[in-house]
Amino acid sequence: MHPDLERVLFTEEQILARVRELGAQLSRDFAGRNPLFVCILKGAVLFMADLVKRIDIPMEMDFMATSSYGESSKSSGVVRILKDLDRGVEGRDVILVEDIVDSGLTLAHLRDLLYHRRAQSVTIVALFDKPEGRAVDIQPDYVGFQVPNEFIVGYGLDFAERYRNLPYVGVLKREVYARS
Ligand code: 5GP
Ligand code: MG
Ligand code: MG
């Protein structure tokens, strides 16, 4: 385990097993609809890569980046589009692939934006869900794991751009964010 972590919450094996299940479920539920999987950069990039390998129906991918928490571990509540989709979504079944839902502000904003652009449907897939953090009424349609209200890193999730490369997910030691 990385020395900056307090404990591991999910091992690489546990994450991949759950991602495989989500892929099978999405493949069944979206058969015949050529869904557009939209990865929310950068946190969801590892999840997206593992998930799409488990999709066995025709599908497409695109990427979007929104403003992050910066170097802080708390939400600013501000959602800014840093990189938009390459193509329009009119009439498409869009699947938003997100690392973690906390306040829900990011996803509520993106969902509204995509419906405004006339997507046929917007489905939210989040690997992690922190239901206690919610500031707006939004629930992901598919969730990998529920997590406690603690700051987690690894498997795409960062603190100040670090730890995204860890193949597992754990809770960061308090002294690590107190330090910066
Ligand atoms: P929301 O808009 O739901 O508050 O925030 C969602 C985004 O905040 C996530 O996509 C992620 O980038 C960041 N975030 C929320 N909770 C955590 C956490 O526990 N760890 C990390 N690394 N990022 C988090
Ligand atoms: Mg994210
Ligand atoms: Mg971040």
pLDDT tens-digit profile of 87-118?
999 999 999 999 999 999 889 999 999 999 99
Does the CB atom of residue 99 touch ligand 1 within 6 A?
A: yes
The catalytic residue positions are 102
**How far apart are the C-alpha atoms of 85 and 100, rounded to whole Å?**
20
- Asked if the structure places residue 153 within a domain, the reply is no
- The closest residue, in CA terms, to atom 11 on ligand 1 is 100
3-class state of residue 179 by DSSP: helix
Weakest mean pLDDT among 12-21, 52-61, 79-88: 79-88
Q: State the pLDDT at residue 80.
A: 84
Residue 85 belongs to some domain of the structure: yes
What's the pLDDT score for residue 178? 83
Cα dist. 102→75, 83, 159 in Å? 9, 21, 15
- Tell me how far the alpha carbon of residue 110 is from its chain's centroid: 12
- Do the domain assignments include residue 27? yes
Q: Give the domain range for residue 126.
A: 12-68+77-148
Q: Give the contacts of 65 (CB within 8 A, at least 6 positions apart).
A: 40, 41, 42, 81, 82, 83
**79, pLDDT greater than 90:** no
The pTM is what? 0.93
Residue 50 lies in a domain: yes
Nearest protein Cα to ligand 1, atom 17: 151
Q: What is the number of the ligand 1 atom nearest to the C-alpha of 43?
A: 12
Q: What is the CATH number of the domain that holds 112?
A: 3.40.50.2020
Q: Is the pLDDT of residue 83 over 50?
A: yes
pLDDT of residue 74: 54
Domain membership of residue 111 (yes or no) is yes
CA of 44 to the centre of ligand 2 (A): 6
Report the C-alpha gap between 98 and 127 in whole angstroms. 7
Whether residue 130 is contained in a domain is answered as: yes
Please tell me the total count of domains within the chain. 1
Q: 28: part of which helix (H) or strand (E)?
A: helix 12-29
Contact 68 CB / ligand 1 (< 6 Å)? yes
3-state secondary structure of 114: helix
| CA 101–ligand 1 middle distance (angstroms) | 6
Whether 176 maps to a domain, the answer reads: no
The verdict on residue 179 lying in a domain is: no
